[in-house]
Amino acid sequence: MSRLELIHDLPSPARTRPADPTGPRDGANEAPRQNEAGAAIRHVAELMRQSRRMILLLMLGCAALSCAYAVYKLNFSPVYRASAKVTAQPTDAELRYSQVYVRSSSLDSANVITRSHIEYLKSREIAERARLEVFGAAGAAPEEQQIPALLAFAKTAKQQVEAGLRWLNSGSAGAAAGEKDLVTEIQDAIELRMVESSFVMEISVAWEDPKIAAELANVLARVYRTRSREQVAATTGELTSFLETQKLATERRLSDLIDERNALRTASGVVEIETERRELLARLFAESAQRDADRRSLLAIQAQLRAFLPDRPLNRHDGLTQTTKEELNLSRLREVELDAAVVESDKIVARLEQRIAALAKLETRFEGLNSEIERTRGQLNDIDARLLEVRISEAESIETLRIVDLATPPALPEEPKVVNRTVMGAMSGFLLAMMLVLSRDYMATRLRTQTDLSGVSGLRVLSPAALGAAELTGAPAAEEKGATASELSRPYLDWDALDTDDMVAVLDISDPRRAEAVGRRVMQCYPYSDQVHTGLLRRAVRPGNMPPSAAVLITLGRDELSAGELRDYLDQLRALSRALPVAVAFVDIRGRVG
């Protein structure tokens, strides 16, 4: 239409409501400025309200799919989990080391040791040993039951996705086959948990067959215990072998030293050095004393002879009596005997001193041999003590890993949990819906929320105008069910500029019926607004079509207009009247429009 149409007064209960045009109205003041965080939250909340059907449908759809797949898999391919418990009691050396290691931290030494065992248990070597014991040397799993087509398709699709990811990450889509696949599957099925502040580990295995799950859990415990014992035996075996070799060498050296000492004792003829030395010293003392006595006697006789015959040659006996001659001859004979005895004693003393000196040298050799023998015996004792410690440590290490509780085939499957899968599906649907909502909002250029309208300066943003679909055809507005008295008496759109005796223009962006319906609501709610014109905004901004008005209310639907286009219309209105108050409001239609 080229001209604005005047909507005459309509009968309304609002006409009888008392109104004070001079007094303030509730909600007439300007709304407080919104901070950015609050505006963003309100923007997202409004987007969620607008897309609540899509969000709800996606949540229900994903939850239904997850629930159906979980029920399907639960009936045809459930996963059972069996658990075995073992203790990993550390040795004294391990415990001392762990206590020193965690002394300056908040860690528990038991957790450190148990975590080390857990990492060993998750190794490929343990999984491969378990495969050999459970599935045999061929490395093939027992024949699987015929799985349903849906599960087979899902499994194939999963393998293809994994192959594609491998190709993207590494450039190769090849997958390990045969026994490697089974070993990897066993590794993936193992779950290890430690009991806090204890040396107890729980070995859990998830498998489609409950008997295989229990057998794998028990086999893993036994295999790890066997491997630990083999490792202990290998380590202590090497050390024991080295110590045994050292012991044999030390024993041979000790035997050689004893043989050398015995040979030296036999060659020297000395049984006991100390006794032999005492005997030689006694003989030397006696011989020395005898020699000294003979020497004193010899000196005494020689002194007597010189005193008796001081001037007479020794061979002249003139003038001597026969008795004197005999005594003289006896003295001379005694002198010769004593002189010979002294000479012989000197020889004996010299020989004894030589024997004592030789015995001293022999004693030095014996002492060296005895010292070496004692040192060798000490080394042999140390080796024996070390061997004993190694054997005790081996016995302790073998008993550190013990099976506490064997696994039994579970009666009920652990996976899939239908309730958990359903909740996860619903959450996934919600996240997917929010991604779609936010992505669409990010790429959109048109106005959809109150926050979008608030971004256009120079406008008063009003609350959305809710209309019934029948109001577009001119039917009176129906009262909302459950509305309170305060809500029924609240002014429509809550804008003071509408409560005026002057003309008010309600202009819509694209549909004049919305402008007429909103105009009727304004006339019903504001008794002083009996001059309301409605029409299209694009026609009203043309020169000559816009009559003088007290206020302009722009109505539009969501996602109909961009912010730039709204600014252009606002600039055109300002060009007609710069002081004209302008407000904008979304129009939400309830029900199906005919």
Confidence of residue 485 (pLDDT cuts 50, 70, 90): very low
Task: Indicate whether 177 pLDDT > 60.
Answer: no
Mean pLDDT, rounded, for 4-18: 41
Task: Name which of 341, 390, 494 is nearest 30 in CA terms.
Answer: 494
Largest CA distance in the chain: 206
Q: Please give the share of the chain, as a percent, with pLDDT higher than 70.
A: 78
Q: Where are the domains of the chain?
A: 5-17+41-51+446-590, 60-140+150-164+174-234+401-419, 270-373
Q: Write down the pLDDT at residue 33.
A: 45
Alpha carbon distance 226, 220 (integer Å): 10
The single-letter DSSP state of residue 269 is: T
Q: How far is CA 532 from CA 17, 186, 517, 525, in A?
A: 19, 79, 11, 12
> What confidence category does residue 520 fall into, taking pLDDT thresholds of 50, 70 and 90?
confident
Higher local confidence (pLDDT), 50 or 273: 50
- pLDDT at residue 396 greater than cutoff 90: no
124 pLDDT more than 80? yes
CA–CA dist 48, 55 (Å, integer): 8
Q: Is the pLDDT of residue 579 over 60?
A: yes
Which tens digits make up the pLDDT trace of 183-242? 888 888 888 888 777 778 888 899 888 899 899 989 888 888 888 788 778 878 888 888
Name the token pair of 299. Answer: 């000196």
Q: What's this model's pTM, rounded to 2 decimal places?
A: 0.58
pLDDT digits (tens, 9 = 90+) for 312-337: 555 555 566 777 777 777 877 887 88
DSSP 198: S
Q: Are 413 and 80 in contact (CB under 8 A)?
A: yes
Q: How far is CA 299 from the centre of its chain?
A: 107
pLDDT at residue 594, as a whole number: 57
DSSP state for residue 490 in the 8-state scheme: S
Rounded average pLDDT over 87-114: 66
Average pLDDT, the chain: 78
- 56 pLDDT band, cuts 50/70/90, is very high
pLDDT of residue 137: 60
Share above pLDDT 90 across residues of the chain, in percent, rounded to a whole number: 10
DSSP 348: H
Residues 428-460: tens digit of each pLDDT: 999 999 999 999 888 888 888 888 888 888 788
- Judge whether residue 51 has pLDDT over 80: yes
Cβ proximity of 90 and 113 under 8 Å: yes
pLDDT for the residue 14:
38
Which residues, 6+ apart, have CB-to-CB distance to 453 below 8 Å? 447, 459, 461, 584, 586
Euclidean distance between CA atoms 412 and 52, whole angstroms: 39
Residue count (the chain)? 594
Tell me what pLDDT residue 382 has: 92
Task: Kindly give, in sequence order, each residue whose CB lies less than 8 Å from that of residue 373, ignoring residues fewer than 6 positions away.
Answer: 254, 257, 258, 261
Report which DSSP code applies to 502: S
Distances (CA, A) of 467 to 45, 238, 476, 479: 21, 92, 10, 11
Q: How confident is the model at residue 98 (pLDDT cuts 50, 70, 90)?
A: low
DSSP calls for 111-174? HHHHHHHHHHHTSHHHHHHHHHHHH-TT--PPPPP---HHHHHHHHHHHHHHHHHHHHHHS---
CB 472 within 8 A of CB 593: yes
pLDDT, residue 17, reads 36
- How many other C-beta atoms can be found within 10 angstroms of the C-beta atom of residue 461? 17
d(CA 517, CA 524): 11
How far is the C-alpha of 355 from the C-alpha of 279, rounded, in Å? 11
- Token pair of 556, please? 């539009």
Q: Are strands 582-590 and 551-556 parallel, antiparallel or unpaired?
A: parallel
Nearest by Cα to 519 from 71, 66, 10, 99? 10
Q: From CA 448, how far away is CA 463, in angstroms rounded? A: 13
Token representation of residue 337: 């005997």
Q: Report helix angle 179-189 to 124-135, nearest 10.
A: 110
d(CA 363, CA 365): 5
Q: At which residue do the structure tokens 């105008």 appear?
A: 465
Q: pLDDT at position 3, please?
A: 41
- Both tokens assigned to 232: 């202990």
Whole-number pLDDT of residue 65: 93
Is the pLDDT assigned to residue 423 strictly greater than 90?
Answer: yes
pLDDT of residue 104: 55
Architecture of domain 60-140+150-164+174-234+401-419: 2-Layer Sandwich (3.30)
Rounded Cα distance, 134 and 85, in Å: 19
Pairing of strands 5-7, 532-536: antiparallel
Identify the pLDDT of residue 21: 37
Alpha helices, DSSP H, located in 399-511:
418-443, 450-454, 485-489
**What pLDDT does residue 251 have?**
92
Closest CA to 499 of 537, 466, 532: 532
Segment 165-172 shows an average pLDDT of 77
pLDDT at 414: 85
pLDDT at 389 over 50: yes
pLDDT at residue 66, as a whole number? 92
The CA angle 581-585-591, to the nearest 5 degrees, is 150
